[in-house]
Structure 1
Amino acid sequence: MPSPEHGPAHRARLRYAWRVCSVTSLGLVLIGIAGSTLNVALPAVVRHFSADPFQSGWILLSFLLVNTACLVLFGRVADLVGRREVYLAGFALFTVASLLAGLSPDVWFLVAMRVVQAVGAAMILANGTVIITDAFPPERLSQGMGVYIGTLSVAQLAGPTLGGLIAETAGWQWIFWVNVPAGVVALAWGTVTLRRVPPGPKQPVDALGNALVFAALSALLLALSEAGSRGPSSPVAVAGAVVFAALVPAVVLVERRASHPVLDARLFGGRMLAFANLASFCNALARASLVLVVALYFQAARGVDAFTAGLSVLPVPVGMAVASPVAGALGRRVPAYALSVGGSLLSTAGLGVLLLSAGAGTPYWVVGVGLFVAGCGSGAFLTGNTTQVMQGLPAGGLGVVNGFRLMVMNVGVVLSVGLSLSVLAGSVGPELGAQVYAGTLSTLSPVAVEQLMDGFRRTYAVLCAVALTGAVLAALARSDR
C-alpha cells in the first residue's frame, strides 16, 4: 500500500504547487526585471530629464519607500478580502503604471508613476511567499522556495544586460514598457491557475501605524539623499534627521497601543524569528545597492556605456541563479540556518574582495570574482533564511506576519540604496554629484575619479561590515530552544 507521500492526493497537491510556483515566479520576474534594468539604465534617464542629484535619487527611492511602507498593509488587506484577489490586482496596477511611466513628460511624473508601481509591487510581494508556502507540502517547501528565489536571480540576470541594451538603443521609455507584456501574461496565468481562498477573520488595519512608519522612513531617506547631494549640514538634511528622531518614539508608542499593529513585535518574540529577521535586514542592507553601485562604478569611473556596464554586473545575478536552487536542494539535508550563515559569509567575502581591489584600473576578473561570490552568498542566504522564517511562522495571520518580514527586509533595501548613493555623491562634493548619477564623471578629470574611488571604498567597507554582522545574527537564529 503506497504511503501518503506517494498517494494520488499528494501528487495532485504537488502538481498544483508547482503551477502556483510558476505564477509567483512570474511575479518575481516582473519586479526583478523592473528593478535591475533601472539600476543600470538610471544614467540614461537622468541625462534625458537633466535631473539633479536629489531628483535622481528619488527616481529609485520613491519606489523602495512606498513599496516598503505598503507591504504589511497589503498582507493585512489580503487576509481580509482574499489573497488571490489582492495578488492579481497587484499585477494589473504594476502593468498600468509601467505603461504610463514610459510616457512621463517630466521627472516628477515619473516619480509619481514609480510610486504607483510600488503599490502594485507591494501587493505582489506581500502575498507571493505566503501563496507558495500554503501550496507546498512542508517537506518540499525548500525546493519550491529555491526555485522561487532562483527566478528572481534569472530576472536579475537578464535585467542589467536588458537595461543597458535598451538605454543604448530603444530609449529609456522601453525600460518601463518591457514590463507591460510580462505583466499581461502574469495576470492571465494567475487568473487561470490560482484557486480562490476564503478571506481570513476581519481585523482592523493599523492606518496610523502605517502612516507613521511611512513618515519616519521618508524623513530618514530625505536626510540621506540631501546629505549626499548638498552635504550633511544642509537644512533639509538636518530637518529630516530631526523629524525621524522625533517620529521613532511616536511609532513605538502607537504600535504598543494598537490592537493589530503594523509592527507587531509579539509575533517575533522568539529567538529564532528575531535573529533571523535581523539577519535578513543586514543581508538586504549589504546586498540591495550592489548592482547599482557597481553599474555606476563602470559608467562614472571607467567611462563605459550602459550596455557594457550591464554586462559587467552580471556575475552578481549569475551567482544568485547558481546558488539559489543548489541551496534549495541542500535544504532537505542541511538546516536552513546553516544555509543562511554560509550565505552571509560568502557575501562578506565577495564584498571584501571588492573593497581590497577598488580602483579605476583594477582588472575586471578581480571585480568579477568579488561580484560572483557576493551573488552566491545572497542566493544561498535568501533561500535558507526565507525557508527558516516561513516554517517558523504561526499559522494565523500568515499574510500580515510575512508582510512584516518583507518590510524588515525592505527597510534594509531602502537604507542600502539611500546610504550608498549618499556616500558616493558626497565623496565628490555637490558640484560633481550630478555627473556621478549621469555616468559622465570619468570625462572630467583623474582627480575627480580618484575622489569617487574613495567613495566606493568607504561604501564597500560599510557593506562588508554589515554582511559580517548578518552572519553573526544568522548563527544566533539557530533555534528557539
Structure 2
Amino acid sequence: MSGTGEEAQLRYAWRALSVVSMASILTALGSSSLNVALPQVVRHFDASATAANWILLSFMLTNTGLMVAFGRLADMFGRRTMYLLGLATYTGASLLLGFSPGVWFLIGLRAVQAAGGAMLLTNSAALLADAFPKRHLGRGMGIYIASFSVAQLVGPTLGGFLTDRLGWQWVFWYNVPIGLVCLAWGAVALRRTGSRAHERGIDAAGNLLVLISLGSLLFGLSQVGESGWTDPVVFAGLAVCAVLAPLFLWVERRSPHPVVDVALFRDPPFALGLLTSFLNAVARMAVVLLIALFYQAVRGESPVPAGLKVLPLPVVAMIASACSGMLHAKLTPRTIALLGTSAGTAGLLVLLLNISEDIGYTPIACGLVLIGAGSGMFMPANTTALLDGVSSQRIGIVNAMRLMVQNTGVVVSTALAMSLVTSPLPAGLRQYVFAGTIADVSAQGVAQLVTGYRLALLVMTAISALSVIASLGRHRVADVAAGGIRPSEEPVGKAP
C-alpha cells in the first residue's frame, strides 16, 4: 500500500474508531452504572431475588444469544446499516426503560435494549479490523478496549450519583442524548459497505438452541439464590443445557450457515484462545458488581461511595489498554494475553485471601488494581490474536463467535457469582442482599454473606487459574505451529 493510500486509510480508521468508541462507552456505561444502582431499583419495585437477578441476566442472555445472528446479518447486509440500527434500538429502549411500570416490564425492555447492544458489539471490532492497516490494528484495538474502561471508570460513580440525586430512572435516561449524538456521527463518519446477497441465510435452529440452552443454564443458576443447589428447578435448568449442548453441535455440523463454524475449532490456537476468553470472563466479569454490592450490603454504604470504591479496576484497565500498543511493538499478542490473565488471577487471589467483614480498603484496592491491569492487557491482545489473518469476508462471523463466547462467560460469571454469594444465607434473607439492606436486618446474615463472598472468590480464582493454563497451552501450540512442528514431533529437550 502506498504512503498516501495508507494515510487515507488511517484517517478513515480513526474516524471509525471514534464512532465505535463512543458507542462502546454508551453501552458499557449502561451496564456499569446499573451495577451500582441495582439495590435502588430492587427497592423501588420491591423485587424478589429472582427478579433482581434477571434485571441483569435478561440483558446478558439476549445480547449473547443474538450476537452471532447479527454478525451473520452484518456480513450479508452491511456493518454500517446494522451498527446504526443497533444505536437506534439501544437509545429508544433506554428512553422507555425509565417509564417502566413494573419490574418484569423493565426486564423485558432490558432484553430489547440488549438486542440493540448486540448489533453494536458484534460489529465494533469487525469495523476496526476492516478499517485499520494490519500493522496499526493492535494500537486501534487497544484504544477501543480502553473505551470500555472509561465507561467502567465513570459508570459506578455516575450510577450512584444519578440514583441518589435524580432517581433510578436516570440510570437509563442519560443514555438518550449520548445515543442520539453517536447515531448522528455514525451516519456521517462510517462508510457504506456492500451486501453479500448470494450468501444469505440464517441458522434459525442453531440460534434457537443457543437461546434455549443458555437460558436454561441461567434460569437454573438464578434460582440457586432462592432455592439452593438441590432444588429440582435448578437441576432441570442445568440438565436441559447439558442435553441441548451436544444437539447444538450436531445441528451446527450440518447447517450451511452455522451459528458456530465448528471447522474453526480445528485450529488449536484459535480454539484455546476462545477457551481462554471464556474462562477469563467467567472469572473476573462479576468483580465490579460483587465489590459494589459488598460495600452496600455488608458495610451499609450508599451507592456513591460504593461506586467510588471500585474505581481502581477501571482506571488501571483503561491505562493498560491504552498503553497496550507499546507492548504490541515488543511482545506477541499471545504473550500479552498470558501476562494479562496471570495478573487477573493474582488479583482475585488477593481478594480471596483478605475478604472479611472488617477488611480495610487497601487489600481490596490492590486486588482491583491487579485485575484491572490484567483486563487491560488481556482483552485487546486476545482480540487481536483471534482476528489476525481472518479474511474480510469472514471477520464478521468470527468476531461474533468471539463475542458470543466472551459474553457467555460474562453471563455465567454474573449468575454463578450471585448464586454463590447468597448460597450460605437462609432463603428469607437473600432478597435483602440485592436491596443492599441486609446489614440493617441481620448481623448473622452479614457473616453468612461474607462466607458466600469467600466461596464465590474461591471458585472465580480457580477458574482464572484454568484460564492461565489454557493461555499457556495456546502459546505453546502456536509456537510449535510457527516452527512447522506438530506437538507430537517436538524435539526432546526443547523448552516449553
TM band (smaller chain): over 0.9
Equivalent position to 1:222, from 190, 194, 219: 219
Paired amino acid for 2:119: M
Tell whether 2:37 aligns with 1:41: yes
Superposition pairs for residues 146-161 of structure 1, below 5 Å?
146-161=142-157
Paired amino acid for 2:127: I
Per-residue deviation, 1:434: 0.2
Q: 2 CA distance for matches of 1:195 and 1:272?
A: 33
Q: Indicate if the aligned counterparts of 1:146 and 1:329 stay in contact, CA closer than 8 A.
A: no
Paired amino acid for 1:134: D
Q: Find the residue that maps to 1:246 and give its secondary structure.
A: helix
Equivalent position to 2:138, from 137, 142, 154: 142
Paired amino acid for 1:54: T
Tell whether 2:188 aligns with 1:192: yes
User: TM-score, normalized by length of structure 2?
Assistant: 0.94
Equivalent position to 1:319, from 313, 316, 319: 316
Paired amino acid for 1:439: G
Paired amino acid for 2:83: Y
Give the equivalent residue in structure 2 for 1:302.
299
Give the equivalent residue in structure 1 for 2:400.
403
Per-residue deviation, 1:268: 2.9
Give the equivalent residue in structure 2 for 1:257.
254
Q: Indicate if the aligned counterparts of 1:328 and 1:384 stay in contact, CA closer than 8 A.
A: no
Superposition pairs for residues 326-365 of structure 1, below 5 Å?
326-365=323-362
Q: Find the residue that maps to 2:246 and give its secondary structure.
A: helix
Q: 1 CA distance for matches of 2:423 and 2:390?
A: 41
Give the equivalent residue in structure 2 for 1:438.
435
Tell whether 2:462 aligns with 1:465: yes
Superposition pairs for residues 78-93 of structure 1, below 5 Å?
78-93=74-89
Per-residue deviation, 1:466: 1.2
Give the equivalent residue in structure 2 for 1:377.
374
Q: Indicate if the aligned counterparts of 2:264 and 2:271 stay in contact, CA closer than 8 A.
A: no
Paired amino acid for 1:58: W
Q: 2 CA distance for matches of 1:427 and 1:19?
A: 51
Runs of 4+ in 1 over 4 A off after TM superposition: none
Per-residue deviation, 1:445: 3.0
Paired amino acid for 1:455: G
Tell whether 2:105 aligns with 1:113: no
Paired amino acid for 1:380: M
Q: 1 CA distance for matches of 2:11 and 2:242?
A: 50
Superposition pairs for residues 23-34 of structure 1, below 5 Å?
23-34=19-30
Superposition pairs for residues 158-169 of structure 1, below 5 Å?
158-169=154-165
Give the equivalent residue in structure 1 for 2:485.
none
Per-residue deviation, 1:247: 1.5
Equivalent position to 1:273, from 265, 270, 276: 270
Q: Find the residue that maps to 2:423 and give its secondary structure.
A: helix
Q: 1 CA distance for matches of 2:464 and 2:215?
A: 25
User: TM-score, normalized by length of structure 1?
Assistant: 0.97
Q: 2 CA distance for matches of 1:85 and 1:396?
A: 16
Paired amino acid for 2:178: A
Q: 1 CA distance for matches of 2:455 and 2:239?
A: 25
Tell whether 2:43 aligns with 1:17: no
Per-residue deviation, 1:329: 2.2
Unmatched 5+ residue regions in structure 2? 483-496
Per-residue deviation, 1:249: 2.4
Q: 2 CA distance for matches of 1:346 and 1:180?
A: 36
Encode CA deviations 1:128-162: one digit per residue, 9 max, x unaligned.
10000110000000110111000110011000000
Paired amino acid for 2:217: L
Paired amino acid for 2:278: F
Give the equivalent residue in structure 1 for 2:491.
none
Q: Indicate if the aligned counterparts of 1:273 and 1:392 stay in contact, CA closer than 8 A.
A: no
Paired amino acid for 2:401: F
470-479 or 270-279, which deviates more: 470-479
Give the equivalent residue in structure 1 for 2:489.
none
Paired amino acid for 2:233: V
Q: 1 CA distance for matches of 2:391 and 2:266?
A: 12
Q: Indicate if the aligned counterparts of 1:337 and 1:388 stay in contact, CA closer than 8 A.
A: yes
Q: 1 CA distance for matches of 2:448 and 2:13?
A: 52
Tell whether 2:246 aligns with 1:246: no
Query: How many equivalent residue pairs?
Result: 477
Encode CA deviations 1:229-280: one digit per residue, 9 max, x unaligned.
2212323212212222222222122112111211212123211111111100
Give the equivalent residue in structure 1 for 2:92.
96
Tell whether 2:64 aligns with 1:68: yes
58-67 or 324-333, which deviates more: 324-333
Encode CA deviations 1:154-177: one digit per residue, 9 max, x unaligned.
011000000111111110000000
Per-residue deviation, 1:328: 2.4
Per-residue deviation, 1:204: 1.3
Give the equivalent residue in structure 1 for 2:176.
180
Unmatched 5+ residue regions in structure 1? none
Paired amino acid for 1:357: N
Encode CA deviations 1:49-107: one digit per residue, 9 max, x unaligned.
00000000000000000100011000000111111000110000000000001100000
Q: Indicate if the aligned counterparts of 2:75 and 2:393 stay in contact, CA closer than 8 A.
A: no
Q: 1 CA distance for matches of 2:350 and 2:151?
A: 25
Q: Indicate if the aligned counterparts of 1:351 and 1:374 stay in contact, CA closer than 8 A.
A: yes
Q: Indicate if the aligned counterparts of 2:67 and 2:403 stay in contact, CA closer than 8 A.
A: yes
Q: Indicate if the aligned counterparts of 1:142 and 1:329 stay in contact, CA closer than 8 A.
A: no
Paired amino acid for 1:234: D
Give the equivalent residue in structure 2 for 1:414.
411
Q: Indicate if the aligned counterparts of 1:142 and 1:332 stay in contact, CA closer than 8 A.
A: no
Identity, in percent, stands at: 45
Give the equivalent residue in structure 1 for 2:492.
none
Q: 2 CA distance for matches of 1:429 and 1:411?
A: 29
Q: 1 CA distance for matches of 2:233 and 2:98?
A: 30
Give the equivalent residue in structure 1 for 2:472.
475
